[in-house]
Amino acid sequence: MSDVTAPAGGSRLMATYPPQPVTFVRGEGCRLWDDTGREYLDFLSGLAVCSLGHSHPAVADAVSAQARTLLHVSNLFGTLPQREVAATLDRLIGAGPGKVFFCNSGAEANEAAIKLARRWGGRGRHVVVSAYGSFHGRTLATLHATGQPAKHEVFQPLPEGFRHVAWRDLDALAAAIDPSVAAVLLETVQGEGGVNPAGADYLRGVRALCDERAVLLIVDEVQTGLGRTGEWFGFQHYGVRPDVVTIAKALGNGVPIGACWARDDVADAFKPGDHATTFGGQPLATAAAAAVLSVMEAEDVPSRAARAGERLRREASALPGVRGVRGLGLLLAVELEEGKDAGRVAAHALSLGLVVNAVTPTALRLAPPLLVSDAEIDEAASLLARAIAAEGDR
């Protein structure tokens, strides 16, 4: 193993990540290989990004064909794949008709949503209310929307106009919405916060409250979107129609792309010149996204994620040392029994050839590719059992 005290990946990278224990050089489906040729089963998918698995041939073909056709001309001119992707997203979201703004990441998708909410609200009505335990990105505005005060401190002062309330507390939300509020911004399952679903009662209550106070409901589906939870979008579990939806991670299966969708009457608040990006929506990224969505529809990934998620949940729940499993579809957290450290279990798992991460100090996140097979789930469960047992031996 390489020297873990050396800065991540080499001495000239900023140390924004903890030391990286392995270096991956190749991936195929649910498998990864490191620079020593060792094979791993990937149950993290690059943080819920590679939902179709690594090196998916349809995505690889689309990217290489587009690279030989047209990479980029700027948004001053029309290009093709972005129109198709926008139309497909609008159809899959099913709360429209609406329109899409393309960008390059989840944080940028949320930035676009926040700016859109401010433009829609008008002067004096600009506050965005989000929940404690949330994660919405690392830019200054999305960092402030992220309800984790410990992450804010060293970057103060943060942009004005953000307010936080307790997660799944409707009374707290009702108290926080005054006439300065333009929007409520929530994940449908808090991902980075520990894989905590909003639940139908809460999200329906939030929708009713937003209607009553005439504020926008923005759902951050950056991690939950595109089949991960067993529906195309997390909000579809709860029968709620959001006004704005942000998407990123899985949309390019590893090619960077983000999207902010809004219902027509909200989207129309943006006028030419209000918001822009050099790369957003460019042909390479949207060609990848078009291929991703087409494979996802052909494979019916939401149903596959729901079925595979049931199997994974059942097997993980039965393992010694596991207190419970929570989440939706193939976005699961395995809560360990008292005294077991999730970080150490994740490290044991990696040394056994299974990639997972510690989403809290006591819980592991499982987010395999949505095309994962039953045999791969069984294999991961047995590796996980060994990793948990190894932690117990300490």
Ligand X SMILES: *Cc1c(COP(=O)(O)O)cnc(C)c1O
| Residue 220 annotated to the active site | yes
Total residues at the site for ligand X (CB under 6 A)? 15
**Rule CB under 6 A: which of 238-297 touch ligand X?**
248-249
Alpha helices per DSSP H over the chain = 45-48, 57-67, 81-93, 106-121, 140-145, 149-152, 170-176, 200-213, 264-267, 283-299, 301-317, 342-352, 374-392
Give me the residue whose beta carbon is nearest to ligand X: 106
β-strands 181-187, 216-220 pairing: parallel
Exactly one of 135, 162, 235, 270 is catalytic; name it: 135
**Rule CB under 6 A: which of 2-61 touch ligand X?**
none
Query: Which CB sits closer to ligand X, 66 or 246?
Result: 246
| Residue 393 annotated to the active site | no
Rounded CA separation 251/258 (Å):
7
Cβ pair 255, 49 in contact under 8 A: no
Residue 329 interacting with ligand X (CB under 6 A): no
Query: Which CB sits closer to ligand X, 45 or 381?
Result: 45
Shortest distance (Å) from residue 37 CB to ligand X: 30
Residue 162 interacting with ligand X (CB under 6 A): no
Which of these, 371, 245, 237, 248, lies nearest to 298 by C-alpha position?
Answer: 371
Query: Which CB sits closer to ligand X, 53 or 234?
Result: 234
- Region of 47 (left: φ > 0; alpha: ψ -120 to 50; beta: rest) is left
Query: Which CB sits closer to ligand X, 238 or 315?
Result: 238
Mention every residue, 6+ apart, whose C-beta is less than 8 A from residue 123.
Answer: none
Rounded CA separation 225/278 (Å):
24
* Chosen residue from 45, 105, 229, 286 binding ligand X by CB under 6 A: 105
Exactly one of 42, 90, 220, 243 is catalytic; name it: 220
**Rule CB under 6 A: which of 136-155 touch ligand X?**
136-137
Cβ pair 116, 266 in contact under 8 A: yes
Just list the catalytic residues: 135, 220, 249
> Which residues here bind ligand X, judged by CB under 6 A?
105-107, 110, 135-137, 187, 191-192, 220, 222-223, 248-249
